[in-house]
Amino acid sequence: MRMRKVMAAALTGLALIGLAGTASASGSGDLVWPPKDVTPVHKTKAELEKQAAGFTARQRQTFPKVFHGAQNVAPGNWGGEAEGLFDDMQYLTNWTEFTVGDQGRTVFMQVNAPGFFRESPAQLCERDKCTGRTSDHRGGVTVFTKNDLHGITVAWNFRRNGEVVWAQSWTPGTEAQLAAVASDRAYTFTR
């Protein structure tokens, strides 16, 4: 049920983007960044390893649903500057490879602790080419960016607790799926 709600929100956002070019759903314009009273989160290596294992399990569980028909979902090791590196990190990244039909696909993710990602959605759009923006229906906002040179699409989910989770792909037309992944609250530092 929860995944259906996330997918519905992502598909709504994609529909808004398709209809309006650069969309801004109601309520998404009032997100103050960084949010007030953000509490930075610092975890031990053991805590981060446990969290990374949960993220991997979530990718294996949800990617076949989010990326309709995905098979052979193979999440890479989570880490920071390198796979498996958990030295006082305030973010975790990984690559996940899978196939849809006979096409190989890759999604890169980054989960940022509250207060670590300092750029606001507006600053992100000054830096990168923004293609849309929509509410995530949980008080946050998802911003879509595109790098035409490298064919990269990214969904950035800015959350009211100061977390930013983003997912990127090199496959055209995956905005709704990337938004569903980025806005999935299973990817969080605050547990």
Tens of pLDDT along the chain (191 residues) come to 443 443 444 444 443 333 233 333 334 456 889 898 898 888 888 899 999 999 999 999 999 999 999 999 999 999 876 766 777 678 999 999 999 999 999 999 999 999 999 999 999 999 999 999 999 989 999 999 999 999 999 999 999 999 999 999 999 999 999 999 999 999 998 88
Mapping DSSP to helix (H, G, I), strand (E, B) and coil, where does residue 11 land?
helix
For residues 111, 31, 184 and 74, what is the CA-based torsion angle, rounded to 10 degrees? -40
Q: What is residue 61's predicted lDDT score, i.e. its pLDDT?
A: 97
Cα(177)–Cα(165) distance, integer angstroms:
14
Structure tokens at 131: 């293609």
CB 128 within 8 A of CB 150: no
Q: What is residue 168's predicted lDDT score, i.e. its pLDDT?
A: 98
Q: What pTM was estimated for this model as a whole?
A: 0.83
From residue 183, alpha-carbon distances to 7, 22, 82, 102, 149 in Å are 10, 19, 24, 27, 26
CB 184 within 8 A of CB 140: no
